[in-house]
Structure 1
Amino acid sequence: MTVKHLSAAAFAALGFAVAVPATAQADELVLYCSVQEEWCRAMSEAFQRETGINVLMTRRSSGETYAQIAAEAAQPRGDVWWGGTGDPHLQAAQEGLTAEYVSPMLGELQDWAVRQAETSGNRTVGIYAGGLGFGYNSELVTEDPPACWADLLDPRFEDDVQVANPNSSGTSYTMLATMVQLMGEDEAFAYLAQLHDNISQYTQSGSAPIRAAATGETAIGIVFMHDAVAQTVQGAPIVAVAPCEGTGYEVGSMSIIADAPNPDAARTFYDWALTPAAQEIGAANNSFQIPSNLNAATPEAAPRLEDVNLIDYNFALYGSSEERTRLLQRWDAEIGSLAQ
């Protein structure tokens, strides 16, 4: 199963642009959420309970949400885009799809969260971080477990690796941009073409591959390491791996949509979502990212960035509209076409 690149026009044609009412009320917030469903629901319910503002929440992957916001640009229907990898948030910022806002909470945030705001001209901000890697099912891979990106090319893993499609998934786009930065562009696409021989499915959701590994549908899922840890914590035989060659990471982000129908509610949510209490909701809902507020407790099970061999990920370049569009088009032509 593959997911082809969806343009903003395609999303409009499919009806995504009417997912929420055209006219929202002053005491409402229309939230587009790009983390796991459980975390999305918990954030929505907590904010509604604490403020009395009714939340209309839609959950979609990062790439899908970006396309929806672009499709609705002439008549915005959402107020806040919360969660998902930072690259599409940065692209939305560059294209003027999101609004400038400097939260009074900015001084409480990690340096990488503030840099995300500065890079975007204060049109997005970092809310969590997590390293890219993969997880394997230790009941299916019992000998010579993979420790490096190169190991995933082993013929013994034929049709036994899953990864998402980078058009719909921010996780998979982070992998694509990571490989380009780690190996060089041509070498990265050669690697991905070889890896294709072992790919059983390009999923729509970035975390779907590790859920498949947890149930034994596949042996290996390429995901952010915190998603692999979430399966381990729930009792699945999943081992999270930080690849030996080095890897990229995400700065999960939040943006206020330009010309949002409920700008006051949007700013209220934005400030609230940067508080320690709001950021600790993730760990209570089996999400193990590193929170951006310095005063928020980091989940004990969260993979620490300092323990991972991280590349110097160029968020400004790979979050730019031109570069992101170009890389996705090349992926469609050289990798996505192989699955058709």
Structure 2
Amino acid sequence: MKPLKLTLAGAAALLTAGAAHAQELNLICSADVVICELLVEQFEAGHDIDVNMVRLSSGEAYAKIRAEGRNPQTDLWWGGTGDPHLQAASDGLTMEYQSPMLEELHEWATRQAELSGYRTVGVYSGALGWGYNTEIFESKGITPPTCWADLLDPSLAGEIQIADPNSSGTAYTTLATLVQLMGEDEAFAFLADMDANVSQYTKSGSAPVKAAARGETGLGIVFMHDAVAQAEEGFPVEVVAPCEGTGYEIGSMSLIEGAQNETEAKTFYDWVLGADVQSMMPEAGSFQIPSNASATPPEAAPNLDDIKLIDYDFAQYGDSERRAGLLARWDEEIGGK
């Protein structure tokens, strides 16, 4: 009987270890770290699941998930622009899942899910623009730009920061927006001219306006809600929607194909789509438009109805080949200078 007892004990130990392992979630978060930390804190407070969270920009997240394709170490990817999420879906790196929460979401969020074959879903939205430091502009006598074309003004030499589109979904959205507004060759000519005014291509999409808020640069090209966040903190930042029109993001969420903790990932997925969860996001300085139609949008959030938005082609610019081609051309003509 002793061998049997040892076998049962061993089985019990294995079951215990398995149960402990099952109460984990490996999460990539591609929003501002304060937002990421708030989500993790609130989720862990209400669930017996430990979250291992890493904050990565959208491009970095996609690269990590692709590198782990044969042996996924990530269960869930939350936040960041929709284009790389759509690319991951196209590459078969993410899992089809139709959450019971879909019926509560805005049409633009469910359209993102349908477009991807339900391999991603919209969690928030926000328009592209920029924020500039009013004190710097006043002290240097710079006329604030109101249109994309104004960003080429020589008075802005060394005053602009924008992220690298290879690492940043914000910057890739900018690139895709300009291509759709101007045409590809014209957009790259514009970017080459604007390069004379760019002091730094950052890794993070929100970093440029944070630098502007601190007085380290004059202007940051970002999603407008990131500029609003700096203004709400009391920094001298003015928010601009470009006059010619602008693109927008559908911040997305994706389950990873082959996730080790699929059940826990789906628990988080459904939870974070809830109206109550999305309504608390302003506590972390988030001013995006929430995807749950019953969630309360932040009072300071830019009103998309007041912004001239282009008909952003998420299918084309989330396509793997199209995205790779644009990034390769940016590397050759802009980033490689």
Q: TM-score normalised by the shorter chain: which range applies?
A: over 0.9
Matched, 1:100 2:96: yes
Three-state SS of the structure 2 residue aligned to 1:213 is helix
Matched, 1:38 2:34: yes
Rg larger in structure:
2
For residues 286-320 of structure 1, what are the alpha-carbon distances to aligned partners after superposition, in whole Å with 9 as ceiling and x for unaligned? Answer: 01000000000000000011110000000000001
Matched, 1:282 2:278: no
Q: Which residue of 2 aligns with 1:147?
A: 146
Q: Which residue of 1 aligns with 2:318?
A: 319
Percent of paired sites with the same residue? 61
For residues 146-171 of structure 1, what are the alpha-carbon distances to aligned partners after superposition, in whole Å with 9 as ceiling and x for unaligned? Answer: 10111111001101100000000000
Query: Partners of 2:80 and 2:21 in 1: how far apart?
Result: 26
Query: Partners of 1:251 and 1:188 in 2: how far apart?
Result: 22
Query: Partners of 1:265 and 1:236 in 2: how far apart?
Result: 39
Does the aligned pair in 2 maintain the 1:114–1:126 contact within 8 Å?
yes
Query: Partners of 2:118 and 2:21 in 1: how far apart?
Result: 26
Amino acid corresponding to residue 329 of structure 1 in structure 2: A
Query: Partners of 1:63 and 1:72 in 2: how far apart?
Result: 14
Query: Partners of 2:277 and 2:332 in 1: how far apart?
Result: 41
Query: Partners of 1:294 and 1:153 in 2: how far apart?
Result: 39
Q: Which residue of 1 aligns with 2:328?
A: 329
Structure 2 counterpart of 1:69, from 59, 65, 68 = 65
Three-state SS of the structure 1 residue aligned to 2:239 is strand
Q: Which residue of 1 aligns with 2:10?
A: none
The alignment of Structure 1 onto Structure 2 pairs a total of residues equal to: 316
Query: Partners of 1:77 and 1:140 in 2: how far apart?
Result: 45
Structure 1 counterpart of 2:87, from 87, 91, 110 = 91
Matched, 1:28 2:24: yes
Q: Which residue of 1 aligns with 2:7?
A: none
Amino acid corresponding to residue 155 of structure 2 in structure 1: R
Q: Which residue of 2 aligns with 1:122?
A: 118
Matched, 1:310 2:309: yes
Q: Which residue of 1 aligns with 2:246?
A: 247
- Within a 5 Å distance, the mapping from 1:105-184 to structure 2 comes to 105-142=101-138, 143-184=142-183
Query: Partners of 1:67 and 1:249 in 2: how far apart?
Result: 22
Q: Which residue of 2 aligns with 1:6?
A: none
Amino acid corresponding to residue 244 of structure 2 in structure 1: E
Query: Partners of 1:64 and 1:314 in 2: how far apart?
Result: 22
Query: Partners of 2:282 and 2:80 in 1: how far apart?
Result: 16
Q: Which residue of 2 aligns with 1:194?
A: 193
Matched, 1:298 2:290: no
Query: Partners of 1:176 and 1:281 in 2: how far apart?
Result: 31
Q: TM (normalized to structure 2)?
A: 0.93
Query: Partners of 1:333 and 1:282 in 2: how far apart?
Result: 39
Q: How far is the alpha carbon of 1:277 from its aligned partner?
A: 1.4
Query: Partners of 2:258 and 2:322 in 1: how far apart?
Result: 26
For residues 314-335 of structure 1, what are the alpha-carbon distances to aligned partners after superposition, in whole Å with 9 as ceiling and x for unaligned? Answer: 0000001010000000000000
Does the aligned pair in 2 maintain the 1:39–1:281 contact within 8 Å?
no
Q: Which residue of 1 aligns with 2:207?
A: 208
Q: Which residue of 2 aligns with 1:18?
A: none
Query: Partners of 2:245 and 2:137 in 1: how far apart?
Result: 22
Does the aligned pair in 2 maintain the 1:127–1:252 contact within 8 Å?
yes
Q: TM (normalized to structure 1)?
A: 0.92
Does the aligned pair in 2 maintain the 1:138–1:237 contact within 8 Å?
yes
User: Which ranges in structure 1 are unaligned for 5 or more consecutive residues?
Assistant: 1-23
Does the aligned pair in 2 maintain the 1:43–1:281 contact within 8 Å?
no
Amino acid corresponding to residue 271 of structure 2 in structure 1: W
Q: Between Structure 1 and Structure 2, which shows a larger proportion of helix residues?
A: 2
Q: How far is the alpha carbon of 1:51 from its aligned partner?
A: 1.1
Query: Partners of 1:145 and 1:33 in 2: how far apart?
Result: 33
